[in-house]
Amino acid sequence: MRRLLGFIVNPLAGIGGPLGFKGSDGAYAIRALMMGARLVSPARAEAFIESFSSEARRRGLQVEVLAPPGVMGYDEASRAAGILDVSEASCLPRGVWPTTAHDTRRCARYMEKAGVDLLVFVGGDGTARDVYESVDKRLPVLGVPAGVKVYSAVFAVNPEEAALVAAEFLEGSRGLEERPVVDIDEDEYRRGKLVLRVYGYMLVPGGEGMVPSSKAVSGYSGVEEIAEFFAEEIVEPCTLLVLGPGETVARIAERLGVRKTLLGVDVYHNGNIIASDANEETLYKLVKEHLERGGRVLIVVSPVGGQGFIFGRGNQQISPRILRLVGREGVVVVASEEKLRSLDALRVDTGDREVDTMLRGYLRALTGYGRWRLIKVV
């Protein structure tokens, strides 16, 4: 039986991540465009379509892809279609740019009327909200993560996993679950406060390959012991520290005698914060220059609670080229035993397959004063 896959791309999703923006909704996406930021989501959209085409071929699925004109889906689907037939949806005029949330909602409603068997969208939590407001639980949906914020549980872990999930659902071997659409107040987020809200639920293929849950925000014990040991035993003179977001890393900074931005990426060196809420370009320059002088660089990160991501969610400023420079031996994971027990693994999704492969395997995580635990990175 021939299946119809709806495919919507938010081309501006994630554009603000490398710049240190806390999201890419509305005016922040336009600002990022004006600053010359590179589009992120088209490559992730093509990665999904390419992998999905391979899965469809392997399973003998006959699938037609229905996508909005241009950069909202048709261009990416056409470039990577493989065996798939791609049709252009008439939900928008050609050449609309820059696209808006209204365009996403309009195309999602069109997909429902067209009777697609599954609607796949590429974006972040803002895009998920737009899709939810358009189709609610009337249509099975699946998110391909591309945004700065990906707290909703309607997303697959990465584009390749999304392709597998979509193929298995269309094949009939996956059922549907109600999963929450979660987003933050971006104004509060930029002021250093993480305020989450469940906006509703959508029907999503369940099982392996999906993001486990929305972000856990409750506090964990053992953070002070981690911070004390890090300050006393790990930091050496002339060490450059790239400090990722989160409360645990913020406590480490406090123990070092400085104050960092709770939700940004800061750089510490010899007792001072030398870059606060830094963008990707600033981070790369500082790391490269320090390594060229023979210095030591450590990237300090704590996993996203409930999901386990250490790179690719909320810290896109720490880009693949920075991770290549530092290497996996320069990554320090900090998390309490309680937090790690809530995770089945750590996850990476940098958008660069070689870097993701470099980081996978087992990493040591500092869980207390002098206590380390090996945990798998997938």
pLDDT digits over 128-174, tens only? 999 999 999 999 999 999 988 788 999 999 999 999 999 999 999 99
CATH number of 2-205: 3.40.50
Buried b (16+ CB within 10 A) or exposed e, 65-95: bbbbbbbbbbbbbeebbeebebebbebbeee
Determine contact, residues 116/4, Cβ cutoff 8 Å. Answer: yes
The residue with tokens 């081309």 is 11
Task: Record the tokens describing residue 8, joined without a space.
Answer: 């919507």
Query: What per-residue confidence (pLDDT) applies to 364?
Result: 94
Query: What per-residue confidence (pLDDT) applies to 196?
Result: 76
The residue with tokens 């021939």 is 2
Identity of the residue numbered 275: A
Dihedral sign of CA atoms 131, 177, 22, 352 in order: negative
Q: Which residues contact 366 (CB under 8 A, 6 or more apart)?
A: 226, 229, 230, 234, 332, 333, 334, 335, 372
pLDDT digits over 284-322, tens only? 999 999 999 999 999 999 998 888 999 999 899 999 999
Indicate the pLDDT class of residue 25, thresholds 50, 70 and 90: low
65, β-bridge pairs: 5, 86
Mean pLDDT computed over 12-35: 74
Mean pLDDT computed over 319-347: 95
pLDDT digits over 234-284, tens only? 998 889 999 999 889 999 999 999 999 988 999 999 999 999 999 999 999
In degrees to the nearest 10, what's the CA dihedral of 347, 352, 355, 359? Answer: 10
For the chain, what are the domain ranges?
Answer: 2-205, 223-377
Looking at residue 155, what DSSP letter applies?
Answer: B
Question: Is the bond into 98 cis (omega within 30 degrees of 0)?
Answer: yes
Determine contact, residues 278/267, Cβ cutoff 8 Å. Answer: yes
Range in 54-58, 73-77, 81-85, 108-112 with the lowest mean pLDDT: 81-85
Listed residue (227, 242, 253) closest to 280, CA to CA = 242
Determine contact, residues 99/13, Cβ cutoff 8 Å. Answer: no
Range in 114-123, 207-216, 346-355 with the lowest mean pLDDT: 207-216
pLDDT at 220 over 60: no
Determine contact, residues 45/73, Cβ cutoff 8 Å. Answer: yes
Determine contact, residues 216/306, Cβ cutoff 8 Å. Answer: yes
Task: Record the tokens describing residue 56, joined without a space.
Answer: 């469809």
Range in 25-34, 192-201, 302-311, 334-343 with the lowest mean pLDDT: 25-34
Percent of the chain at pLDDT > 70 equals: 93
pLDDT at 23 over 70: no
pLDDT at 214 over 60: no
pLDDT digits over 35-61, tens only? 777 888 999 999 999 999 999 999 999
Gap between the Cα atoms of 304 and 339, Å rounded: 9
Identity of the residue numbered 112: E
Query: What per-residue confidence (pLDDT) applies to 34?
Result: 80
CA distances from 2 to 5, 37, 43, 60 (A): 10, 39, 27, 10
Listed residue (5, 21, 172) closest to 89, CA to CA = 5
Looking at residue 31, what DSSP letter applies?
Answer: H
Task: Record the tokens describing residue 77, joined without a space.
Answer: 């689907």
Mean pLDDT computed over 182-195: 70
Q: How many CB atoms lie within 10 A of CB 289?
A: 11
Listed residue (65, 178, 84, 168) closest to 122, CA to CA = 65
Q: Which residues contact 146 (CB under 8 A, 6 or more apart)?
A: 10, 13, 14, 40, 41, 44, 45, 122, 123, 124
CA distances from 273 to 138, 269, 278 (A): 50, 6, 11
Gap between the Cα atoms of 308 and 167, Å rounded: 25
